[in-house]
A and B are shown apart, each in its own frame.
Chain A
Amino acid sequence: MTNNKSTPLVDELEAGPWPSFVKEIKKSADGPMASDLLGVLERSYTEKIGHWKHGGMVGVKGYGGGVIGRYNDLAQEFPDAAEFHTVRINPPAGWFYTSEVLRRLCDIWERHGSGLTNFHGATGDAVFLGAKTAELEPLFGELLAAGFDLGGSGSALRTPSCCCGPARCEWACFDTLAVTHELTQAYQDEMHRPAFPYKFKIKASGCPNDCVGAIARSDLSIIGTWRDDIQIDKVELAKYVAAGKPDIVHDVVERCPTRCMRFENSTLSLDNDECARCMHCINALPNALSPGKDRGAMLLVGGKAPVLGGALLSSVLVPFIKLESPYEDIKELLAAIWDVWSEHGKHRERVGEFIQRIGLANFLEQIGLDPQPEMVAHPRTNPYIARHEDKA
């Protein structure tokens, strides 16, 4: 325990209407770890600088990831925050829990760590924040016994995540929970033993609203869509027309990106061949319009944040796939992508950057997909066309 208990700057963040993380830390500060964490944070607020040291290799036996080593540079003053490792726990798909399961996780964490958590971290893992090295093995053993395992970290497959999908959304175009769970279970080795050039993320959103930000945040983005006509419930549509809200012409028809809708004589018509399935009209008139019945997903590849070569949104790889269990088609595609990227990708090169370096056409050839116009915003504008040896 430390005698440095005064935290006036941090205490100011207990006030105000938004739930306070400082109050959360104090709730667990009957234990020495959370108490010392507050002291470290107060020091950061005073000095305007972080006090966590760079990494450190810690983990559990047989795994190359799932635990992020965290050591503090104020170990003398705050010994109980000196080792404060992060443990990533693979959550259930869609982040559904029961009170019983949550209490079991709390029991385990109160026995082995600080009592502080993130529900959830940015990649989607449940995060236990602040474990000492000696506690990692016993903690892991209890987690396994409770039916939980570690998530991914480092140059590995990161914990796949998804929206609530068909569990609680009428717009889900495929079973986001099923595919996320299936891929998670299929690739335990790829998650727990980092062997890729860099991280690889998979995120599944059930419709083009993309509630988990798959297109921006994942190397393989699975985003729901459909290939038949948008369903229109005329009775419900008439209610919107009568209510005058939203304004069907200004707020719906004129906001359609492909201008595929008309509203004449109180009748809404849609040219489904022109529709880009963006979701706007469905979002605006949720009771009257819904995605078609012949649903599936689009697969996109290469999304990432700026490090290293700049941020990328994922780009189209497969314009439409039915995406049904046991998901052999997506597994074959993943195997092909991981094969070529693992073989030729540079250290710390995300697959999106790898594709930019070798060219999408070369990448497609390597993974065995034919070029399609849906994959590009437009064809090339420069005439520097490489010669190809005839491979036939």
Chain B
Amino acid sequence: MPPIAVKRKTDIGAPHYHGLLPPIIQRNYGKWVRHEIPRPGVLVHTSESGEKLYSVRAGSPRLLSTKTIRLFAALADEFSGGFLRFTSRNNVEFLLSDGGNVAPLILRLEGEGYPVGGTGPAITSIVHTQGWIHCHSAASDASGVVKSVMDELFPYFGSMVLPAKVRIAFACCLNMCGAVHCSDIAILGLHRKVPKINHGTLFKTCEIPTTIASCPTGAIRPATIDGRASLEVIADQCVCCGNCYTVCPSMTMNDPEDGVSIWVGGKVSNARREPMFSKLAIPFLPNHPPRWPEVTTAVKSLVELYAAHAKPFERMGEWIERIGWPRFFRLAGIPFTRDHIDDFTHAGETYKRSVQLRRSPAWGQGG
């Protein structure tokens, strides 16, 4: 018999959350009755016992050095009994039971360069993907675009002056680790060149049927190149999605002419209008590191247009539905092109099939 190895204890799962909750939360778990936002970035929750929990929310670049995590830990020790959490949009939240600590904590956080805000009708941190920091299929850098856009929109993080919240998300390719497809504004990296096939390696690195099946438009077919089994791409059918690259490393996508697209009007919340996808606003903007000026200008214009026109509580998609897409394109000054018309599986559902349209100056004027 082979020797029996000593089995280490694996599959232990996640640490139980209970011991990581501050005592005030342990005492009032499930007993909160209301909350208010006394200033941007601060939430005060009141429990049925009358106890108050103060949450101080600060922005973070998501990519954190252990040195910054140690800083957050030290601030938590000093101001919140050592208790803190992170939000679904990568903000850090300190959980204070002493309201007197709120102002000194804000002072310290902002002094260290971590702004307090991101609550209510504001722009909070942009959820995003890895980009050139760490991903093989990135058509753009995530962190650089996000940093540039947030620098531009910074006043909206620390204030609550928008009609409603504006959720911005960034994904560096169609794989969308960031699942940006239901955001008020989504910035999505796009490859714009058909895959470059390395016929010298494909036969040993890729399964041909799997790679053919990975193509959503059926643009990949088998081919024999130099006597070896390989693949070819029908360029006119290719949408540069990169799915084939995901399953076949010998079909590379990355190219210096990749860029990003801008999508608007999505939401996940069920409040008022049902959840909806973001729709294409700008089909392509180039990658211009380090500051991506075309992207920051486009996003800022969209936010300002929305802020000027939407009614209170209207999310971007609700505002656009109220005024109609033709008017949105006119107001935004964005040309409507063939790229805006869907041609994938359920495209027909997106065509306008009624005569209910608002009049347009583009139709001319009668005498």
Cα of A10 to Cα of B63 in the assembled complex, Å:
15
Contact code string B132-160 (vs A, CB < 8 Å = 1, else 0): 11111110010110011011001001000
Bound: A61/B134 CA distance, A: 24
- What residues of A have a CB within 8 angstroms of the CB of B216 in the complex? 308-310
In Å, the complex CA distance between A169 and B46 comes to 10
B249 touches A90 (CB 8 A): no
CB of A212 within 8 A of CB of B247, answer: no
Distance (whole angstroms) from the CB of A32 to the closest CB of chain B: 15
Q: Known contacts being A21-B63, A115-B65, A310-B345, is A286 close to B34, with CB within 8 Å?
A: yes
Which of B221-229, B263-271, B302-310 sits within the interface? B263-271
**A residues in contact with B35, CB < 8 Å:** 169-170, 286
Pair A54/B136 contact, Cβ less than 8 Å: yes
Stretch at the interface among A93-101, A266-274, A324-332, A334-342: A93-101
Sort chain A's interface into a size bin.
Answer: 35 or more
Query: Within the complex, what minimum Cβ distance (angstroms) separates A164 from chain B?
Result: 7
Closest to A94 in B: B17
Q: A18-B115, A41-B133, A167-B21 are in contact. Are A116 and B15 (CB under 8 A)?
A: no
| A305, chain B: closest CB distance, angstroms | 4
Q: Hey, which chain B residues are within 8 Å of A13, CB to CB? A: 143-144, 147-148, 290-291
A359 sits at the interface (CB 8 A): no
Q: Whose C-beta in chain A lies nearest to the C-beta of B209? A: A347
Which residues of A lie under 8 Å from residue B21 when comparing CB positions?
96, 167
Q: Pick the contact of B345 from A177, A257, A309 — CB < 8 Å?
A: A309
CB of B313 closer than 8 Å to a CB of A: yes
B90 and A119 contacting across the interface, CB-CB below 8 Å: yes
In the complex, the answer to whether B32 meets A93 with C-beta atoms within 8 Å is: no
Q: How far is the CA of A129 from the CA of B179 in the complex (A)?
A: 20
Q: Report if B362 contacts A (CB, 8 A).
A: no
Q: Give every chain A residue within 8 A of B363 (Cβ-Cβ).
A: none
Those 6 A-B pairs whose CB atoms lie nearest each other, nearest first: A16-B151, A99-B73, A54-B249, A208-B270, A166-B30, A18-B150
Q: A98-B76, A185-B14, A309-B216 are in contact. List 18 more A-B contacts (CB 8 A).
A: A18-B115, A28-B66, A44-B132, A49-B255, A95-B87, A102-B84, A116-B64, A117-B65, A167-B21, A169-B32, A192-B10, A251-B312, A257-B272, A278-B272, A284-B313, A305-B171, A310-B216, A348-B213
Chain B residues near A (Cβ < 8 Å): 8-17, 20-21, 25, 29-30, 32-36, 45, 53, 55, 59-70, 72-74, 76-77, 82-88, 90, 92, 95, 113-115, 127-129, 131-138, 141, 143-144, 147-148, 150-151, 154, 157, 171, 174-182, 210, 213-214, 216, 241, 243, 245-247, 249, 252, 254-256, 258, 266, 268-275, 277, 287, 289-291, 311-313, 344-346
Task: List residues of A whose CB falls within 8 A of some B CB.
Answer: 9-10, 12-13, 15-25, 27-28, 34, 37, 41, 44-45, 47-55, 62-63, 70, 84, 86, 90-103, 105-106, 109-110, 115-124, 129, 141, 144, 147-149, 161, 163-164, 166-170, 172, 175, 177, 181, 184-185, 188-189, 192, 208-217, 223, 236, 246-247, 250-251, 255-257, 277-280, 283-284, 286-287, 290, 305-311, 313, 346-348
